[in-house]
Structure 1
Amino acid sequence: MPGSSFKKAEYFMCPSKDYSNMKNVDNASDIEDDMSDRVYTIDSIHSDFFPNLPTYLNPLQNSLAYAIMKQHFVNPKDVVYQKIVTHKNSVRGVHFRRAGPQEKVYLKSDDVRACIMICGGLCPGINTVIREIVCGLNYMYGVDDVLGIEGEYIIFYSRNTITLTPKSVNDIHKRRGTFLCTSRGRYDTKRIVDSIKDRGINQVYIIGGDDTQKGASVIYKEVEKRGLQVSLAGIPKTIDNDITVIEKYFGFNTVVEEAQRAINAAHVEIESIKMVGIVKLMGRYSSFIATYATLASRDVDCCLIPESPFYHEGPGGLFEFIEQRLKENGHMVIVLAEGAGQEHMAERMDDVGMKDALGNKLLLDVGLWISQEIKDHFTKNQKMAINIKYIDPTYMV
């Protein structure tokens, strides 16, 4: 939505079954009595610095192919609960405006100049997303002017753009990687917005993960500050599946399937030779890939994740569990997310906390470290040699 910003609008709801008595307030504290248990919040997008923007009928209403959409346009007042399960007397909680096509739009199709850019690492399905944006804008909304930024934020300063048409993106979903290229690094927000303004761009589609979406938010604030009629749409892209609110991201299922292949390869190896197989999967601070792949595989004996701290020695520790499994089966498979056990490594290796270009802490290689820790423990304490097969399929998935 052009000229939009995020705002929290608060309402209180009567505890009775009849909610027709709903009252809009700017702040919960403005209500004289304590209504905190009946206040819920809406994270809303509204035209704050463009209060009188003209609107136009959605082009979908004139398309025979999408005529059914007339029955399914999203009402601007529709909201979605952040928490699906609530109790009778619990706080109403945060709600979000429901996404989807609405009856009115803020730009005529002929006036739209859109651009698409990608930041961060690779993820299965990026090219499909690019293709669907281009084809959707063209076939559904009649938009012909779409640019592709060949790189990430910093490339916005140059003229590295290509024209995207349904024909040019027709088969890119069959290719691996990304059609538009990508990278990581810092950028100059003001120069990006200068470029957006100079090129006459009024719709920006930004595909990226957590850092990219933070950057998009900063760019939006600069757009708002200048009073530009520009829409920014952030499309979450993260293999780790770790951006709040969205349940599952494009490419996640593919990653889990590929991770299972690595686990299966480890299981075949260790079952034949009687050893410990360790598979390290992506997941800095969240373990969706490791957890889903473990549950789907059924060949995993132990899954180590950053959300659940573990310890090595003593009763109930990792070493004791490994010993028990080896006595029972003669082999075992351990899956670990790359962010698991970082606190143990930092203690034993005097980690200085190095960071990448975006300020994120660089993780140590927990797979190699824990492999050596297991070897050392069983060699010294159990007086037994232990064979380990370590697999890191990071760039395979």
Structure 2
Amino acid sequence: MLNVDIPSLGPCQFASPLHQIGSTEVPFKTDQDRILYSNTVRGLEEPESALSFEEAGPREQIFFDPARTTVGIVTCGGLCPGLNDIIRGIVYQCYRQYGITKVYGFRYGYEGLVQRYGHTPLMLRPESVAQIHNFGGTILGSSRGQQPIGEMVDTLEDMGVDILFVIGGDGTLRGASEIAKEIKNRGLRKAVVGIPKTIDNDIMYLDKSFGFETAFAEAVNAVKCAYTEACGAVNGVGLLKLMGRDSGFIACYAALAGSNVDFVLIPEVSFTMEGTAGLLEALRYRLAKRGSAVIVVAEGAGQELCQAADGTDASGNKRYGDIGLFLKDQINAFFKARRMEVNLKYIDPSYIVRSVPANPQDNVYCSRLAQSAVHAAMAGKTSMLVGRWHNAFVHLPLDMVTHGRRKVDSKGELWHAVLESTGQPAIMV
């Protein structure tokens, strides 16, 4: 059974300064407030049915003395809508609710925690972050790749940082877990709290990750462009490649929202190019029937078909072959060999999708994640992350969510909805 216990730095001996906000009493939570793992009757028959997660929220007693607390924030990995919203939310919550006045922003990811790189931390205040949510990216900058754990913890010691908020994806969260372990090995009383970030929406045990709503909304605009291009030419094909290394959630949601997509290709569902059941023949049939077609492909789809790239990236991820360009060449060659006119337009909006400011729905989600993260850290909880599960904000152990990825279930409702929307063959092998 999964271990859902959240480590704590010790007894909470300080009264929270949040006892009353205006005339409204604060809805304090205790560690006995739990959110069930399963929310279905069928799920009660499964071994995990007894599992529950700590509910996030303010605690009546806190571990850190706000007047003596120093906070650090670091953003790592690729860009994602909402990073600035998270930074702003943490700073506001620290200053305005808890009275913490020392909040540092470490620049360029984990590099900023290694002093020999020379990245001077930023002092963050409410006035300096007031408008950053209107811009994409992160004011702190970001980077990929591992850094020496010992040197990063040395920096936290030297600067007297009590709480480190780590914002990033699975690789970043694994790094946060190692930082927390080194802190524990040194006998230090410092909290490490993660806020999961990935537009791929592939973090385990979360309803969704921040930035996903914005990313797929931008992807829908790209679907509309692909559809317009396809309809504007004889046998027009709009080929759109979207992000999704191992999980095809953006491709699925963009196709459903765009509603003008004929084929969706994702990493979780295999397909072939050739043969009577392959993609090319299905595309030829669709063009003969409708005169145009739109194909949405996730970047990690069909990797067994295209030539793999060499090596790994700075985060240790295997480099994938370019499935978009592979499909473009294969489709053009297929129709040329049959002397059939085809007008293919290839669109790859990857960096546009991830670099835009968060939309209002993600604005709200990021604000609440930031608030929950600060509440957890001030209560002395560590080696954990905050997220939403069954529409409630919860605490999850870092080690629990970094072993595996959330994926589209090829037999589930989402993929079935995609098949109904596109009308594509359920099997293309």
TM tier relative to shorter chain: 0.7 to 0.9
Q: 1:250 aligned to 2:210?
A: yes
Q: 1:373 aligned to 2:330?
A: yes
State the match for 2:137 in structure 1. 177
CA distance in 2, matches of 1:376, 1:66: 70
Deviations 1:353-397 (A, max 9, x none): 4211222100111101111111222222x3323221100001111
Deviations 1:201-220 (A, max 9, x none): 00001111111011001111
**In the TM superposition, what are the counterparts of 1:1-397 in structure 2 within 5 Å?**
43-47=4-8, 50-51=9-10, 53-61=11-19, 63-65=20-22, 67-69=24-26, 72-87=27-42, 89-91=45-47, 92-158=49-115, 160-274=120-234, 275-345=236-306, 349=307, 351=308, 353-380=310-337, 382-397=338-353
Letter in 1 for 2:33: D
Instruction: Specify whether residues 352 and 298 from structure 1 end up closer, same or farther in structure 2 by C-alpha distance, changes over 3 A only.
Output: closer
Where does structure 2 lack aligned partners over 5 or more consecutive residues?
354-429
Deviations 1:282-324 (A, max 9, x none): 0000011111100000010110000111112223221121011
- Structure of higher CA gyration radius: 1
Instruction: Specify whether residues 93 and 278 from structure 1 end up closer, same or farther in structure 2 by C-alpha distance, changes over 3 A only.
Output: farther
Instruction: Specify whether residues 391 and 195 from structure 1 end up closer, same or farther in structure 2 by C-alpha distance, changes over 3 A only.
Output: same
Give the conservation status (yes or no) of the 8 Å contact 1:375–1:385.
no
Give the conservation status (yes or no) of the 8 Å contact 1:41–1:95.
no
Give the conservation status (yes or no) of the 8 Å contact 2:309–2:321.
no
Deviations 1:139-184 (A, max 9, x none): 1111111111111112212261111111111111122221111111
Deviations 1:118-156 (A, max 9, x none): 101111111111111000111111111111111111221
Instruction: Specify whether residues 285 and 41 from structure 1 end up closer, same or farther in structure 2 by C-alpha distance, changes over 3 A only.
Output: closer
CA distance in 1, matches of 2:176, 2:39: 28
CA distance in 2, matches of 1:333, 1:352: 26
Indicate the SS of the match to 2:346: strand
Residue 41 of structure 1 and its aligned partner are, at CA, apart by 5.3
CA distance in 2, matches of 1:94, 1:366: 40
CA distance in 2, matches of 1:43, 1:66: 35
CA distance in 2, matches of 1:325, 1:267: 14
Instruction: Specify whether residues 219 and 66 from structure 1 end up closer, same or farther in structure 2 by C-alpha distance, changes over 3 A only.
Output: farther
Instruction: Specify whether residues 134 and 372 from structure 1 end up closer, same or farther in structure 2 by C-alpha distance, changes over 3 A only.
Output: same
TM-score relative to the length of structure 2: 0.78
Letter in 1 for 2:14: Y
State the match for 1:17 in structure 2. none
Residue 352 of structure 1 and its aligned partner are, at CA, apart by 6.4
Where does structure 1 lack aligned partners over 5 or more consecutive residues?
1-39
Give the conservation status (yes or no) of the 8 Å contact 1:257–1:293.
yes
Give the conservation status (yes or no) of the 8 Å contact 1:42–1:96.
no
Instruction: Specify whether residues 280 and 41 from structure 1 end up closer, same or farther in structure 2 by C-alpha distance, changes over 3 A only.
Output: closer
State the match for 1:20 in structure 2. none
Higher RCO, 1 vs 2 (CA within 8 Å, ≥6 residues apart): 2
Alignment RMSD, CA only?
Answer: 1.7
Give the conservation status (yes or no) of the 8 Å contact 1:279–1:390.
yes
Larger helix share, 1 or 2: 2
Give the conservation status (yes or no) of the 8 Å contact 1:42–1:95.
no
Residue 90 of structure 1 and its aligned partner are, at CA, apart by 3.4
Give the conservation status (yes or no) of the 8 Å contact 1:305–1:336.
yes
Residue 257 of structure 1 and its aligned partner are, at CA, apart by 1.3
CA distance in 2, matches of 1:41, 1:361: 28
Give the conservation status (yes or no) of the 8 Å contact 2:237–2:293.
yes
Instruction: Specify whether residues 90 and 125 from structure 1 end up closer, same or farther in structure 2 by C-alpha distance, changes over 3 A only.
Output: closer
Instruction: Specify whether residues 352 and 134 from structure 1 end up closer, same or farther in structure 2 by C-alpha distance, changes over 3 A only.
Output: closer
CA distance in 1, matches of 2:203, 2:264: 22
Residue 54 of structure 1 and its aligned partner are, at CA, apart by 4.5
Name whichever of 308-317 and 255-264 sits farther off: 308-317
TM-score relative to the length of structure 1: 0.84
Indicate the SS of the match to 2:274: coil
Indicate the SS of the match to 1:204: strand
Give the conservation status (yes or no) of the 8 Å contact 1:154–1:188.
no
Give the conservation status (yes or no) of the 8 Å contact 2:12–2:61.
no
State the match for 1:24 in structure 2. none
State the match for 2:385 in structure 1. none
Deviations 1:84-131 (A, max 9, x none): 224354322532222221211101111210011110111111111111
Give the conservation status (yes or no) of the 8 Å contact 1:134–1:146.
yes
Report the identity percentage: 40
Letter in 1 for 2:25: I
Deviations 1:61-106 (A, max 9, x none): 1x4337421xx22221122223322435432253222222121110
